[in-house]
Structure 1
Amino acid sequence: MKRIFSFKRHQPNDDPFLIRIDSIKDKSVEGFFKKQWVEDSITTAGKINAPKPLGEFLGIGGSLKTLWVGGCILTILLVTLFLRAAYLQIIQGGHFRLLAENNRIRTKLLSAERGIIYDATDVPLVRNIPTFTAYLLPQDIPTENHARTKTLRAIGELVEISPENLQKKMDEFKSYRFQTFAIKDNIDYDTALRLVLLSKQIPGVSIESELKRQYLLVNEGATSSTSERQHYAAPSLGMVLGYEGKITKEELDLASDKEYLPIDRIGKTGIEKSYENLLRGVRAKKKIEVDALGKTKNLIAEEPGVPGKNIKLNIRVDYQTALEDALDAQLKNSTHHRASAIVMNPQTGAILALATRPVLDTNLFAKGISNDEYQQLLNDPDQPLFNRAWSGAFPSGSVIKPLIASAALTEKIITRNTTFLSVGGLQVGKWFFPDWKAGGHGVTNVIKALAESVNTFFFIVGGGYHQFKGLGPETIVMYLKKFGLANTTGIDLPGEVPGFLPTPEWKEDVKKEQWYIGDTYNLSIGQGDVLVTPLQVALYTATVANSGTLYAPHVVKSTIDPKTKKETPIKPRVVEHAVVPADVLALVRAGMRSAVTDGSARVLNDLPIPVAGKTGTAQWSKNKANHAWFTGFAPYENPRIVITVLVEEGGEGSGVSVPIAKRFLTWYAKHTNE
């Protein structure tokens, strides 16, 4: 670097007080030493004393141009710094003051108390219980690597989670770094108290009290003034109620327009999911002052939350318990483990009871299921996670025959007096389509065909035979859809499937096969590729029972404001007012009544209330037993209740499913005024 200023070396023989003046021809010293101090060129002896190149001098080593450029650059830098400071202090001052204030004063959001779910008689089916959860706020975690690692290690030791998993969790919620999220829940009181004390000097972690769900699927204590309803066992309600759990990152992203936060719990399945918006309420807000570690120092202001609305179901725990008892009584000594049963009000579509086997304890999920427990459920061959009543699609078997009869009567291809001779089956070319009864049923009209489930009758009205022209596949499918098949029913529960109805076009497109008369015959008796849900069967049975009104089934009866106690009923929703003429359904009901008095469901004829119904045996596998069906209603003249039962691989509907219906209907007749 060039030296600009220096001092002249002192020569020992120089007299500093002697001034010698001599003339210089050129007062300007040119050459290499130009711009050095001129005095250095004058000696005290009057001689020109040329400066020594290696000497040190006080002077300037750069040009005026260099000084000018440097000055400009320095000026620009100073002006830039001044403008930047002015921008930060004047224009952005308010923003940074707000950030600084937010580091000291924060708004803390708290989830509202979730609404309670009651049965139709005001028995609570769920309650909110206190628990403790450890939360992490990424904003308070140091950013410097060493301090960050040390903090995550301290938090990990506190809540027994590895720093790597904590970092993974933070990465998952990196777009929510200013919001807390749970890192450990279901902490008991004593542990929570210890963690609170230990966490006081660790930034970013807090232990909070919150409410979680407990589902009262089995209750042995007094819950109401009506002692008869104090005790119940309704484990199947777990499928209906569903469960609530911590919101996941995926759910948070999907619900970004609904103001959810990582601290929230959300309905995952069942009623908890369908009515999430009503149950969740409005969150509370607290303005707090925090210290340098993010710990709460003072509460500045508080805005209370609004509890979620309570929900009342159409389901009654006494009906539910009776239905589950009926299932268990039939299945406990058998090899059958998978079944579903539905009880419905045919006049409104209200679900009064819904039971499935095997059962699922949703409290496992509400408290946080372990991986081992979840794998055990997944690997269970009976599939307890499967909502078989409305998410399971099965071959219908003969329980579809009332709809085929309705279609044939409406299309006027038969009347009450139309008869066919059943001799044990129909021969079409080289193919034989049998009745279930060897030798046949003899002369058969529509009433007898329903009572004895005569296949020949439905083969003919469905696909035709010789000179008689049947309905054909297109007309059959049209009427089955009018009764709600091949479509979801609209029940207020998630996960419903529509079932399936085959058509000639589908078979050609998917199977690359031609549609044969045998396909129409199978469709006419609910075999082949027909798939229905137990809920759909219950719903169209209700339509037959009430003379033609198709309702959307519904589990929820009303919502209740927890503050005002105002109850808002949910009105039944009509899908179709007159699916087929009422006189047609009167004949169909007569045939179903005859099934109880003279046909395949005669075991129900000794009940104290008159019942009508239809049995079904659905083939679905060459190597496994048939599915056993029953669907019916009571009382016959003024239907108030529908019951549908399916026992998977149960065999004959008359031998397995009918006894379940009988046990429930016996209880029903005893405990109601019917």
Structure 2
Amino acid sequence: MVQLNPFEILPNTHLGKPKLVKTFKSYEFSDETLEAQRTDSPTLKQQIQGKRLKVISWIFAFLLCLLTYRVFWLQLVKGSEYRRSAENNRIRISSIPPVRGVIYDKNGKSLVENIAEFSFGVIPADLKNESDARAQQLSAFAETAGIPVAEFEKVLVEKKANSTEFAVVKEHLDYAQAMKLKILFKNEPAVKVEIMPRRHYLGGEAFSQILGYTGKISETEWDDIKNSEDNDYQMNEVIGKTGLEAVYERQMRGISGKASIEVNAERREQKVLAAEEAVPGQNLVLHLDSELQKLLYKKANATVKALRTTGAAVVALDPQTGGVLAMVNAPSYDNNDFVSGISSSLYEQLITDSHKPLFPRAVAGEYPSGSTIKPLFAVAALDQGIVTPQTTVLSTGGIKIDKWFFPDWRPGGHGVTNIYKAIADSVNTYFYTIGGGTENFDGLGIDRMTQYARTFGLGGQTGLDLPGERPGFLPSKAWKEQTKGEAWYIGDTYHFAIGQGDLLVTPVQMALMTATIANGGTVFKPHLVAAFQDSAKKISKTIEPEIIRKQIAKPEAFQVVRDAMRQAVTSGSASRLQSISQPVCGKTGTAQFGNQNKTHAWFIGFAPCTNASIAIAVIVEGGGEGHAAALPIAESGFKYWLKK
């Protein structure tokens, strides 16, 4: 067995892991092992440096990927947006407001015009962006212009900060004021002085209820407009508020245009790159005769003042078309006061005035008709064969039913009465009889009477092209039972037959009823607008007469009633009209209201009696007798019209 020398160092011929040599209780590296490690293995320093290089390489690769992704995002994804933003900073789209159409009467006389005035304001997008800087800027503007800073802040609350729309701070400036502001702010692109049109009404109070007025778009109106499909408005525009201005807003406004305007870095306008011109609004041509309108208003207003009543209304229609020749509400107001923004004190004065100048009596006033409804029931009775022209009723002063007495207006009565005398002298007993009947006579009854009243246009809106029309009211058995908890009595029918009780009519309804009698039974839809006109004053559209119902009763029934209404002029309560050059047919009325035996004064009539060209209805509130208060107003209208 070979003995190994524990102290002998054996040569190491194996390269790889270091070979240990055991010496007593320790191990040592051989020289060869150490040499091999020095020659082929990395040092600790080298290992650390390698790891650092790897980390740096990964970081660099990550940043390169991130940069590549960001370039891709900016160029391809957001590129179009940024290009648009840059383009928007260079090109501004400006709205071009259309010229609003005007209104003419039937003879081509202008009733409203557009006048130029100046407005001062700012472009919100051109103001400084930072809130404190913007506040200081506005404060400086306010001091320079002499306008409270609150006025600037108020209009900017309504606009978006980036809006390029002109925000009006002060309007209705004259030329001198406008030029002064323009000079003061000539170096400030955010401030502008612009020309803006304003409505000016030429007819005064006589036309205000018909034409209405324009005014700034309110917040409520803007909410409705901006959500509509055909929104073409800017918030600083005006809009029709009442009357024809409101009804025909879309037609008269026109269509806005657009202009692409190049601006420089200072946001100053350089040039117009492209423009789409605005389309002017259409003009309205009315059936209205402005001279007749002014005459009737003057007469009605004078009557109200002379009699110290609350008001009056007049409606004149063309019986052959339904065209409105005149429509008067007295007293009235000046619509120019509303165009520029009415003061609170003046508005308070108008709404608290006991004469109610803002109230459109002609279409919304509801009154008992009094005896002016009698011709309607005469037509109904003739049409139904209840009476003939020869049928007579004995008037002895009234009719007694049990303990109730229904009187004639003349004590002792009118004697033997046929239909001509009944209308000419307004004999109540005759109409009690043909309406409600007696023990020996079958009348129409409430149901047929109501049916005919509706056929003539009572008890509902006529469809006139004005807002605010009221329907009036026709009582019935069912209504009385449901509302008052009472049965319908024959006395209710008697009251209805002479235009009293719960019956309510409007002046325009009574004018329509009168026109229907005049033309022999055709019910037209009343209308103010006859045609539309383009900006070159050429007719673009004619409004054809609209027939609601035709031949609502026998022609001979209408002829008898027309003859009876002529007799009212030749020998009855309307005899004042005999002096007029052409034959006039008419009927006066006195309608009780309230609890103090007060009466409204009524008159209805038409002329000439054959082929009538005008039908008139007049009411004077609390005016007393129809022949004394209402008839003279109509007389002035007939005289003017028949002289033409």
Post-superposition shift, 1:283?
Answer: 2.2
What is the identity, as a one-letter code, of the residue corresponding to 1:536? Q
Aligned to 2:472: 499
**8 Å Cα contact 1:132/1:209 also seen in 2:** yes
1:142-541 matches, cutoff 5 A:
142-157=128-143, 162-164=148-150, 166-173=152-159, 177=163, 179-200=165-186, 204-217=190-203, 235-256=205-226, 257-258=229-230, 259-291=232-264, 294-541=267-514
Q: 2:618 aligns with which of 618, 628, 645?
A: 645
Take 1:24 and 1:358, find their aligned partners in 2: how far apart are those partners?
129
Return closer, same or farther for 1:415/1:290 CA change in 2, 3 Å cut-off.
same
Distance across 2 between alignment mates of 1:549 and 1:198: 66
- The Cα shift of 1:140 comes to 3.7
Shift of 1:399: 0.9
SS class of match (1:494) = coil
Change (3 A) 1:547 1:291: same
CA distance in 2, matches of 1:90, 1:440: 100
Per the alignment, do residues 77 and 140 of structure 1 end up closer, same or farther by CA in structure 2, a change over 3 Å counting? Answer: farther
1:532-611 correspondence runs (5 A): 532-563=505-536, 565-566=538-539, 568-611=541-584
Native 8 Å contact 1:151 1:203 kept in 2: no
CA offset at residue 457 of structure 1?
A: 1.7
Unpaired runs of 5+ in structure 2? 1-25, 34-42
Report the Cα offset of residue 113 of structure 1: 1.3
Count of aligned positions: 602
**CA deviation string 1:400-428 (max 9, x = no partner):** 11111122222222222222222222222
The verdict on how the C-alpha distance between 1:339 and 1:250 changes in structure 2, with shifts beyond 3 A counting, is: same
Deviations 1:116-146 (A, max 9, x none): 2112111111111101123444434444331
Q: Does the 8 Å CA contact 1:312/1:560 hold for their aligned counterparts?
A: yes
Change (3 A) 1:76 1:423: farther
**Secondary structure of 1:393's aligned partner:** coil
Q: What is the CA distance between 1:361 and its match in structure 2?
A: 0.9
- TM-score of the superposition, structure 1-length normalised? 0.82
Assess if the C-alpha contact under 8 Å between 1:330 and 1:659 holds in 2: no
Structure 1 partner of 2:106: 120
Tell me if structure 2 keeps the 8 A contact 1:345–1:542.
Answer: yes
C-alpha RMSD of the superposition: 3.1
Q: Which amino acid counterpart does residue 477 of structure 2 have in structure 1?
A: P
Q: Is the 8 A contact 1:202 1:293 kept in 2?
A: no
Contact preservation (8 Å) 2:96, 2:277: no
State the shift of 1:549 in Å: 0.6
Deviates more, 1:185-194 or 1:136-145: 136-145
Paired letter, 1:592: M
Using the TM superposition, give the Cα deviation of residue 354 of structure 1 relative to its aligned residue in structure 2, in angstroms. 2.1
Once the 2 structures are TM-superposed, how far is the Cα of residue 72 of structure 1 from its aligned partner?
8.9
Sequence identity percentage: 43
Query: Structure 2 counterpart of 1:122, which letter?
Result: G
Gaps of 5+ in 1: 1-22, 28-36, 40-58, 219-234
Q: Deviations over 1:4-51 (max 9, x none)?
A: xxxxxxxxxxxxxxxxxxx99899xxxxxxxxx979xxxxxxxxxxxx
- Mapped to 1, the partners of 2:191 and 2:597 lie a distance apart of 56
Maintained 8 Å contact 1:109/1:283: yes
Superposed CA offset, 1:504-535 (max 9, x none): 22223333333332222222222122111111
The one of 654, 662, 669 aligned to 2:627? 654
CA apart distance, 1:82: 4.9
Structure 1 residue 647, shift from structure 2 partner:
0.7
2:463 partner SS: coil
Give the 3 Å change call, closer, same or farther, for CA 295–524 of structure 1 in structure 2: farther
TM-score when normalising by structure 2: 0.86
2:79 alignment partner in structure 1:
93
Question: Which of residues 593, 604, 625 in structure 2 aligns to 1:620?
Answer: 593
Preserved contact between residue 310 and residue 354 of structure 2 (Cα < 8 Å): no
Residues 175 and 537 of structure 1, relative CA distance in 2, 3 Å threshold: farther
1:453 aligned counterpart, secondary structure: coil
- Aligned residue identity for 1:429: D
